[in-house]
Structure 1
Amino acid sequence: MQEIKRLGVFGGSFNPFHRGHLNSILTALEKLQLDKILVVPAFQSPDKPLIEGPTPEQRFEMARLGIQGQDPRVEVSDVEISRGGVSYTVDTIDQLKKQFAGAEIFLIIGTDNFETFDRWKNFERILQNANLIVTTRPGYVLPSTQDEIPDGVDKMIEEFGPREILLSSAKVIRFLPLKDVEASASEIRRGMRLGRNVSGLLAFEVEKYIVDSKLYAGIEKKISDFSKLTQICAARIEEKKGFAIRAFDLEGIESISDYAIVSSGTSTRHAASLAEDLMMFIKKEYGVHPLGIEGLQEGRWIVLDYGALIVHFFYDYVRAEYRIEELWRAAKEIPLQLAKTAVN
């Protein structure tokens, strides 16, 4: 058995596992000269509330099929699924450090995760035990000063460089450029629900498994009247002090959903609390989680995907910047049955 001296760790929800994931894995394998990369599907990601869709075991299977026939140094690990509960990276690194005693560990993440890395549980301990590899896409501007590094992480910097940063723990943060592969898990899920061709983004075996298992068939079986749901959601948002609430019937225009709601919050925290409350409300009333969630951690622009209904929550100043309603100028605005005027 080959001794593992350099171990890569690539975690995620893999919902589904796509070619963008594979691109990151194979690039890291080559550029970092790793002996092994473990692909680690999360049991429950800390920053992603429960959503409708595949079980952890099904996401493991998609990852397994996604690397099938690739480099034998790439393996899928059930370390987080077996552990259960919320999947904290610090616990996984601790566990792998014991399992692969003496190996140098390289944790591979994307730039989106790096920007909030100082919010990860015990991130300092992660950087005591693992090097951090940050994959970057074409056009990404590397940090030019230490001030551009996430708070907390910058306090550990011993020596700053444009592509590699030496930490006081003797570990490094390294930026790893990727060839661009446009693949978004949320867009793939939506595309498959709408019957669009996503074969270029998924391995054939992964796509077949998704279709055969009906993993993204939608939630229409549990929610029969989305027009009624739109009114109910708008009323709930108003009850929780959301404001400038508008709803649109998107039938007849090119859109990934049939209905949309837009609401503002007074702050990022308020916008996030509105989204969290609506998720709990719909789960209680209809027994479903969203099909996808985006932006909840930052709270600037949060998207809850319920298939035929998509709900947008904005921090009000961000909403003014994006002016999302202009996308639906040709759509019919739905008169809302609210206790007060929805739009200021």
Structure 2
Amino acid sequence: MKVGLYFGTFNPIHIGHLIIANHMAEHSDLDQIWMVVTPHNPHKKKNTLLDDYHRLHMVHLATEDYPKIQPSDIEFKLPQPNYTVNTLAHLQEKFPTHEFSLIMGEDNLNSLHKWKNYEVILQNHHIYVYPRLNSGEMDEQFVNHPKIHRIGAPVVELSSTFIRNSIKEGKNITPMLSSKVWEYVEHNLFYKK
């Protein structure tokens, strides 16, 4: 089975994330998309980051109607700080029959050369890249790389930061979240302060 790993804090998960994940599930050769919720780094103070459980729960709520998309808390169990290369090694050991790939925006691809052991990642895994506005010039070594696949997904310029700020300002952001996520955020009064 080919699994695309879509990493994020998902604070909160929004329709932009779902559009990208669903596009990858329906318009690439990936069989499933796992939304990997990245845990709070205990060494960093991040007041706006919700508890790991709440963010994971929102991903569950947002993806329950998408059979090819599922939440993953795999990184919650790994030592912190964690690196993607470690997560991939852990997943490959746990699911030896799966083929894991990464899903990332063009902007992240441009900084891939700064990742820990990025050569090992590229050697063992494919990367599916979705377009972003203003992602800059692509690093020359990645332009025609056989493991990097550019997928013409819709360009969605929507950020969780914008959503959090809008909620804090009392704006109506209901179209930007799945209805179940919006209800959960509203019920728990998240991002109001």
Match of 1:256 in 2: none
Per the TM alignment, residue 174 of structure 1 is displaced from its structure 2 partner at its CA by 1.1
Task: Please list the CA deviations of residues 115-163 of structure 1 after superposition, one character each: whole Å capped at 9, or x if unmatched.
Answer: 11111121112112210111104x67896xxxx416xxx2xx6xx54xx
Task: Check whether the contact 2:4–2:34 (CA below 8 A) recurs between aligned residues.
Answer: yes
Secondary structure in 2 aligned to 1:200?
Answer: helix
> Alignment partner of 2:148: what SS?
strand
Between the two proteins, the alignment pairs up a number of residues equal to 192
SS of match in other structure, 1:39: strand
- The match for 1:68 is 64
Give the C-alpha shift of residue 207 in structure 1: 1.1
Alpha-carbon contact 1:43-1:87 (below 8 Å) kept: no
Q: CA deviation at 1:57?
A: 1.1
Distance 1:215 1:87, change over 3 A: farther
Q: Which has the higher contact order (CA 8 A, sep 6+)?
A: 2
1:94 aligns with 2:89: yes
Report if aligned partners of 1:9, 1:40 keep a CA contact under 8 Å in 2: yes
* Greater per-residue strand proportion: 1
In structure 1, distance between residues paired with 2:125 and 2:63: 24
Root-mean-square deviation (CA), in Å? 2.3
User: Larger C-alpha radius of gyration, 1 or 2?
Assistant: 1
Q: Distance in 1 between matches of 2:134 and 2:126?
A: 21
Kept after mapping to 1: 8 A contact 2:36/2:74: yes
TM-score, normalising length: structure 2: 0.89
Gaps of 5+ in 2: none
Is contact 2:40-2:51 (8 Å) kept?
no
Q: Which residue of 2 is the match for residue 120 of structure 1?
A: 115
Structure 1: how far apart are the matches of 2:135 and 2:46? 33
One-letter code aligned to 1:149? D
Name the counterpart of 1:149. 139
- Identity of paired residues, percent? 29
User: What code does the residue aligned with 2:51 have?
Assistant: T
**Is 1:213 equivalent to 2:192 in the alignment?**
no
Is residue 26 of structure 2 the alignment partner of residue 30 of structure 1? Answer: yes
1-side partners of 2:30 and 2:129: how far apart?
15
Q: Which has the higher helix share?
A: 2
What is the TM-score normalised by the length of structure 1? 0.52
Q: Which residue of 1 aligns with 2:3?
A: 7
Residue in 2 that maps onto 1:136: 131
